[in-house]
Amino acid sequence: MDRQAQIDFILDHYENPRHYGSLAQPAVVQKGGNPGCGDVVTFYLQVDGDERISAISFEGEGCTISQAASSIVTEMFTGKTLADVEATSSDVILDLLGREIAGTRLKCATLGLNATKDAVRQLRRIQANLE
Ligand code: FES
């Protein structure tokens, strides 16, 4: 994608966030925030018996990149496994957003991804306590 296409892609996700809102019966709810600016997100995950994410949604307030990246994260992980989330590095989200645009905004770009990773960690703890 060229720079303009990358900007359009980000703006589209910001203006029309995918999977926005809460889930009725989430297995886990995870808040994330960037203390530097006060921007926040909340992620909701539903998981099936095979550790596959059957639904993921988010709510949040913040800068264009953090909210667009959170929307992208929900698309990226719908139908994926918890292990897929654990294996995804911030490079993946930076490549999707475009390094030229997001490279200097690492905390914004990874806010949603890190909240999702924290959600999976929380879920693992809940599962471990049930065993
Ligand atoms: Fe706050 Fe981007 S400026 S997350």
**Cα–Cα nearest to 79, from 55, 57, 58, 96:** 55
Atom of ligand 1 nearest to the CA of 38: 1
Q: Which CATH number belongs to the domain containing residue 68 in this structure? A: 3.90.1010.10
Direct distance between the N- and C-terminal alpha carbons of the chain, in angstroms, rounded to an integer: 46
| pLDDT tens string 4-49 | 999 999 999 999 999 999 999 999 999 999 999 999 999 999 999 8
Q: Which residues are catalytic?
A: 37, 108
* Core vs surface per residue 19-33: b (16+ CB within 10 A) or e: beeebeebbbebebb
Which of 62, 73, 77 lies closest to 108, judged by CA?
62
Q: Whose CA is nearest to atom 3 of ligand 1?
A: 63
Answer yes or no: is the C-beta of 64 below 6 A from any ligand 1 atom.
no
**Ligand 1 pocket, 109 CB below 6 A?**
no
Q: Domain range holding 37?
A: 3-130
State the Cα–Cα distance between residues 98 and 54, nearest whole angstrom: 28
Number of separate domains in the chain:
1
Instruction: State if residue 111 touches ligand 1 by the CB under 6 angstroms criterion.
Output: yes
**Which pTM value belongs to this model?**
0.96
> How confident is the model at residue 102, as a pLDDT?
92
- Between the alpha carbon of residue 45 and those of residues 3, 50, 82, the distances in Å are 32, 14, 10
